[in-house]
């Protein structure tokens, strides 16, 4: 390796680290997303959710993830954006509960 390659590699690593450090963090949103995805998986495993219900709930989770990405895009997640994310997650959580506790079940194998 020559000196030029070493220096450019170090500069690239420093820029990457700086870019990652500037990305706003939303740990509560991420933790809640993970929990809701686990609830969907558990519902599928227990038979409380059929395949169609699970797919629809997964699409809702993608909507929340997309909204989170958009909120982070400008480098700051404002209070209004956090409120919107919370509202979307509340709606998704209610839908998960309703679908898990309705009369529809997955076919037994």
Q: Is residue 80 part of a domain?
A: yes
Report CA-CA distances (Å) from 84 to 50, 53, 56, 75, 93: 29, 24, 20, 17, 14
- Cβ-count burial of 7 within 10 angstroms (0-12 exposed, 13-18 middle, 19+ buried)? exposed
How would residue 79 be classed by pLDDT, with cut points 50, 70 and 90? very high
Q: Find the radius of gyration of the CA atoms of the chain.
A: 20
- Domain range enclosing 35: 26-100
Mean pLDDT of 42-56: 95
**30 is a domain residue:** yes
- Does residue 5 lie within any of the structural domains? no
Task: Evaluate whether residue 3 is within a structural domain.
Answer: no
Residues 52 and 108: beta-carbon distance below 8 Å? no
Domain count, the chain: 1
Contact 39, 53 (CB under 8 A): no
**pTM over 0.85, yes/no:** no
User: pLDDT exceeding 70 applies to what percent of the chain?
Assistant: 79
pLDDT band for position 3 (cuts 50, 70, 90): low
């Amino acid at each position: 390796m020559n000196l030029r390659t070493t220096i450019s590699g170090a500069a690239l690593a420093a820029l990457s680290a700086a870019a990652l450090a500037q990305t706003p963090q939303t740990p509560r949103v991420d933790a809640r997303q993970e929990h809701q995805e686990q609830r969907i998986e558990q519902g599928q495993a227990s038979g409380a959710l059929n395949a169609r219900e699970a797919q629809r709930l997964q699409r809702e989770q993608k909507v929340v993830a997309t909204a989170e990405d958009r909120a982070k895009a400008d480098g700051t997640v404002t209070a209004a954006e956090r409120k919107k994310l919370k509202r979307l997650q509340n709606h998704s959580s209610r839908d998960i509960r309703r679908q898990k506790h309705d009369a529809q079940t997955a076919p037994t194998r």
